[in-house]
Amino acid sequence: MRSESSSYSFHDRALTQTLHGTLLRYFCEAFDGPIGQHLAECQFGFAPSPLGEPTFFIVAGSHDDIEYLSRNIDGLLDKAADIMPGIRKLALCCQPANPQPRSNPGILCGRVFSVPQIPLEGDDSENV
């Protein structure tokens, strides 16, 4: 028999996954041409940075993909700021093609960018 609290957490998790899926679809659909094609081949995720800042991860297939997306970072940051309030960092990452055996196989390489914070209407606070 399930307890009510686990039932609620299951529904909360399902709602969060649906919200993230919708955000990611909207984010990717905002870009057409080569940027959209690169994003279509990426994986995405959300996690806190080591300092606890909410971070949006774009995991590309190669270092070349990271370089391409980095050259177009302003558009990526602006769209993240527009549709993901509260996200403080955007990380462009890739897994090494031939990672060396390590004790931590989940190592990624990439670049981290600060997402500009757009003040909400009627928000008099100086949150940056």
Tell me what the mean pLDDT of segment 26-54 comes to. Answer: 93
Q: What is the CATH number of the domain that holds 18?
A: 3.30.300
Look at residue 126 and tell me if it is in a domain.
no
Angle at 111 between CA 108 and CA 113, to 5 degrees: 135
Q: In terms of pLDDT, which residue wins out, 127 or 66? A: 66
Look at residue 127 and tell me if it is in a domain.
no
Q: How far apart are the first and last CA of the chain?
A: 46
Look at residue 128 and tell me if it is in a domain.
no
Q: Which single residue is written with the structure tokens 């981290």?
A: 112
β 89-94/109-114 pair status: antiparallel
10: containing domain: 4-99+107-114
Look at residue 125 and tell me if it is in a domain.
no
Look at residue 54 and tell me if it is in a domain.
yes
Look at residue 120 and tell me if it is in a domain.
no
pLDDT digit string, tens, across residues 43-80: 999 999 889 999 999 999 888 899 999 999 999 999 99
Number of domains observed in the structure of the chain: 1
d(CA 61, CA 38): 9
Look at residue 11 and tell me if it is in a domain.
yes
Look at residue 63 and tell me if it is in a domain.
yes
Q: Which single residue is written with the structure tokens 């993240």?
A: 80
